[in-house]
Homo-oligomer: A and B are copies of this chain.
């Protein structure tokens, strides 16, 4: 399948990086992000926002921010505290230790920065690289595009490897580039583990194998925003140098903590990296780590307690069980899509994502209509198609603290919406296919057996 061929708009960014940035902005998701028009009449100033009210729980299936479990909401339901009292450093210490587990690292150093995924990207880049440094970066969808845009604006020399949207990172080209780079001009490989816009998961183990094969010293920087804590991710085993995620994704928290984890090699690189940085500077954190107070500036007390609760839940379930659950949710969704007779934006099985599925709609349907209708009629929140795939795909996020019955409700909703917009779906078909698989694969809940 080849529904989103390389478009003419992507010029060679190595040659004219500034213009690429410009083009990236012209083609920026902003023009496509919000097809639901904001009518002035919808909400008057000062009106209580709860009044965009629909009965029952909102069925939240965007690929982030995701559903927060009740125990985490509870943990965050609190007044502020003095973050310099002994309680906060003591808790922070446990968080820093436990956060490493979700990255599967024992040698990494984590930073829990009061920022978003975009800020976490910036922290990863500015602490390890200097202006002008060459990075190899894979453009496979909207979020990898935005990261590339950031790299360019931070003045790195970005060597963009583009794939069609729906394909994974082109590792053959990476191999060629590594083979050719005897001078080690490539300072970092920047790769999104899971491209949230297209539901594509890249093979990081292969990236590491290539680096090892060519004995290339480039840093491996990984955006794990929609993967870590949901997909199989192994920082130490795969030799990842910087990995990062955001609290509002698989950790199932509100937005507000960008978690960046640095390998010893990345820490070493930070000593000579010349990118200007203050707020995102790892060094400020490291000083406070040594002092045992941990925080160079004020953290969110609420998010720290929330993260503590979120990690407790993950370890209670078992990280590998969490990952297996995401695989069940992803598989069930893909089976439903197939049963509906629709195509997955992801072009090959090896790239299938267990956290988000981008579903391609027939040409006579505007996928934004599906997302609007989900919201307006079914109290269901789905993800829009972004940028090149706007109007062409809608996305089902199935990550975070979510169970199979919640997903099945979503899938049943999608079936009705497909019918609403004129697609000849057989109602019940997707749910039937998903159930046939799930009924064989859902384990008993350990704490209840």
Contacts and interface: CB of A to CB of B under 8 A. Distances in A.
A66 B56 CA distance: 11
B298 A246 contact: yes
Of A33, A312, A403, most buried by chain B (CB within 10 Å of CB) is: A403
A106 interface: no
A141 to B, nearest CB: 16
B376 A448 contact: yes
Interface residues of A, number: 143
Interface string A402-431: 111111111011011001100000111101
Contact of A298 (B64, B82, B278, B405): B64
Contacts of A322: 55
A405 B401 contact: no
Contacts of A277: 153
B254 A80 contact: yes
B406 A412 contact: no
B439 A122 contact: no
A378 B85 CA distance: 13
B43 A68 contact: no
Contacts of A97: 45
A444 interface: yes
A25 interface: yes
A125 to B, nearest CB: 9
Contacts of A291: 30-31, 33-34
Contacts of A312: 46
A271 interface: no
Copies in the complex: 4
A155 B277 CA distance: 10
B317 A55 contact: yes
Contacts of A443: 377
A442 interface: yes
Contacts of A410: 405, 409
Given A87-B49, A279-B115, A435 B428 contact: yes
A449 interface: yes
Contact of A431 (B80, B90, B412): B412
A42 interface: yes
A381 B81 contact: yes
Contact of A427 (B77, B301, B375, B439): B439
Interface in A16-72: 25, 28, 30-31, 33-34, 36, 38-39, 42-43, 45-46, 49-60, 62, 64-71
A173 interface: no
A75 interface: yes
Contacts of A25: 287
Of A114, A254, A322, most buried by chain B (CB within 10 Å of CB) is: A254
Contacts of A171: none
Interface stretch (A6-14, A181-189, A302-310): A302-310
Contact of A448 (B119, B375, B404, B426): B375
A248 interface: yes
A445 B59 CA distance: 14
Given A87-B49, A375-B448, A376-B448, A55 B248 contact: no
A121 to B, nearest CB: 8
Nearest to A376: B448
Nearest to A302: B254
Interface string A145-179: 00000100111000000000000000000000000
In order of increasing CB-CB distance, the 6 nearest A-B pairs are A428-B432, A409-B409, A56-B403, A65-B80, A43-B90, A408-B412
17 contacts: A34-B292, A45-B97, A46-B94, A53-B317, A57-B403, A57-B406, A60-B79, A62-B84, A65-B298, A80-B248, A114-B115, A375-B448, A376-B448, A376-B449, A408-B408, A427-B431, A428-B432
